[in-house]
Amino acid sequence: MSDPLSRLAAYLGVIERYQDQTDSWHDTSPETKAAIVAGMGFDTSNASALTAAHDALRAEDGARDLPEWMVTVANAPGPVVAAPWRLTLENGAQSEGQGALPVLPLGIHRLVVGDYITWLLSAPVSLPPAPKSWGLTMPLYGLRTAAQGGVGDYHDLGGLVRDLAGLGVGFLGINPIHAGFPTDPMAFSPYSPSSRRRFSILHIAADAKADDHGPLIDYAAVLSAQNRALRAEYAAFQGDSTFDAYCLAEGESLRRFALHQALSDQYGAYWPDWPVAFHTPESADVAAFAGENADTLRYHQWLQWRAEHQLGQVCEKAGAMALGLYLDLAVGTHPKGAETWGDPDLFAPGCSLGAPPDGFSPGGQRWNLAPMRPRHLARTGFAALAEILRAQLRYARVLRIDHILGFERAFWVPENAPGAYVTMPKAALLAVARIEAARVGAVIIGEDLGNIPKGLQSDLAESNILGCRVAMFEQKWQSDTPEFKPAADYDTRVLTSFASHDLPTYRGWRRGSDIGWRAKLGGLDCAAQTAAMTERAAEVKAFETTVGGHGVDQVNGFLAATPSRLVAVQAEDALGLIEQPNLPGTVYDHPNWRRRLGISPQDLPKHPGVIKAAQTMKTAGR
């Protein structure tokens, strides 16, 4: 590692070599190193620039009395600092001294020693244990029949949580409801949002009349009708003091998001396609545009107020549940959306988050999601992550963090080179998650499936952050023939389900419908399809021997019998559906995120499959 590029890449946390899930080893190529280092904001054009950047980083880190961040214990005395210090608590209170720091309350605090800032992440050592409970998970967008048309909205969600609470359902989980792209009807994936700090306006309850009554959602029709209805409601809006207070409290963050949305209205969904003068939020042209379009900015602020007001009503109705609303946090943000426009220094251009090769994707995956630069995260006190988590936890008492493996190492895939892992500040990210969850008493779930780094699951357990267990994968893989774990052998500190939104439903799994889709789309030839179906038949037989039957009721009984703190039943399984919501590795060739559940929100709690699931869970003591 004597060359300047490798030295700088290593200092920035680019991992030199990694092993994928197929046990193959991959060396990080010079092209990959250069692309990632450039994405982090460094000049890679010549050896002198690389050496200068490396030496400057080492000099700055060596000059510090304290590191850039430290995890401390909330409500306990802070560390002893030999040099004079100045402390600003999260609430603005200031003090100074030398030696021992005072007791640090829960939060993220700013400590200045000499010329350098150290962020103190004052967190509980671990979160309280999650109650033993169960819940239903479902796609909010699919909560309408074809006859009703449109997509499920926040009003539907509120009525549903109220009715499900009466059945003893402990939580209701839904797909991410981050802010999307209202001017692009094809950008409907909930896992590729414009901003994770803001909320989807697609689900605001409004008097939208969409000509959308097919078995699959027509987002062009739905968005057009929704935008018309919302603009008509805003035209009749006479003002509200709570709206004014909301805008004041949200401040510049909300204003900048509204400005992005207003520019999108005029120039299109994706900011790199706008005139260059509008690429920078601080530009004079952007300031002039804001002044000329003040009412449009106010409209987009109003939309967020409407969304959050309705989500607040959902939370009130979910109060009778043991936990309440369960939200899902996408692993990343679209590289051309509001988040990257509003805070460009935080994200790495030219790179995408993804995953290394595995059994499902031999070539690896590129998710088209912008990676966060770890040094910038640290330099800003992890403010962006804290704000994103805090926004979700205003309304969720269970929050699932998609692909929490990225808290330890994130797989960055450059545009024209293979991917590689980048080390992330795991202890800090976990501390921020504990801080934000502790503020509201929420349960955090980390989706820990895939190429799991050693030690991560132990760290999650120490934080009392639940992992995820998917029954179809809980096999004794060293066995020559399929053999599934018995219920008693499941982990305790986890959420267990049969599958997930990226996997086949129970009925679909039994039939091999996911294998059929892969073959239909050219991913499997006849021989591979036949082999996969033979293997699936053996798995199904072994699983049904383990659970004691071949019906969804037996599967739910098995899940209920595990020691797992939380158990989730997918609505698709309770309703007996076959097709899955999303087929990974596809975009439009499979109808991802478009399938309706085929039942109204009023009728779902009355469905025999949902009632039976509730009875099964109650009998098991959940």
- Distance (Å, whole) CA 129 – CA 211: 47
Q: Report the candidate in 487, 477, 424, 479 with the shortest Cα–Cα distance to residue 453.
A: 424
Identify the residue whose tokens are 């943000």: 333
Longest Cα separation, the chain: 74
What pLDDT score does 359 carry?
A: 67
Q: Which helix (H) or strand (E) holds 20?
A: none
Residues in the chain: 622
DSSP 282-327: TSHHHHHHHHHTHHHHHHHHHHHHHHHHHHHHHHHHGGGSSSEEEE
Bridging pattern class, strands 133-138 and 171-174: parallel
Determine how many CB atoms are found less than 10 A away from the CB of residue 117. 18
At 376 the three-state DSSP class reads helix
Q: Report the candidate in 198, 585, 189 with the shortest Cα–Cα distance to residue 390.
A: 198
pLDDT in tens, 102-129: 999 999 999 999 999 999 999 999 999 9
Alpha helices in 241-293 (DSSP H): 241-267, 284-292
Structure tokens at 225: 């009708």
The Cα angle at residue 20 between residues 18 and 21, in degrees rounded to 5? 150
Bridging pattern class, strands 443-446 and 103-104: unpaired
Residue type, 150: G
Give 214-240 as a 3 state SS string: CCECCHHHHHHHHHHHHHHHHHCCCCC
Phi first, then psi: what are they for 25, rounded to 5°?
-100, 145
Determine how many CB atoms are found less than 10 A away from the CB of residue 132. 16
- Distance (Å, whole) CA 356 – CA 175: 25
- Distance (Å, whole) CA 370 – CA 39: 10
Bridging pattern class, strands 80-88 and 107-113: antiparallel
- Distance (Å, whole) CA 565 – CA 570: 17
What pLDDT score does 480 carry?
A: 87
CB 218 within 8 A of CB 144: no
CB 173 within 8 A of CB 568: yes
Give 118-186 as a 3 state SS string: EEEEEECCCCCCCCCEEEEEECHHHCCCCCCCCCCCHHHHHHHHHHHHCCCCCEEEECCCEECCCCCCC
pLDDT in tens, 528-571: 999 999 999 999 999 999 999 999 999 999 999 999 999 999 99
Please state whether 249 falls in left (phi above 0), alpha (psi between -120 and 50) or beta: alpha
Centroid of chain to Cα 367 = 13
pLDDT in tens, 476-499: 988 889 999 999 999 999 999 999
For the chain, list residues with pLDDT below 70: 1, 359-360
What pLDDT score does 221 carry?
A: 97
Cα torsion 261, 266, 268, 270: sign = negative
Residue type, 480: D
- Distance (Å, whole) CA 206 – CA 213: 18
What pLDDT score does 1 carry?
A: 56
Give the helix, strand, coil percentages of the chain, each rounded to 5. Answer: 40, 20, 40
Q: Which helix (H) or strand (E) holds 38?
A: helix 30-39
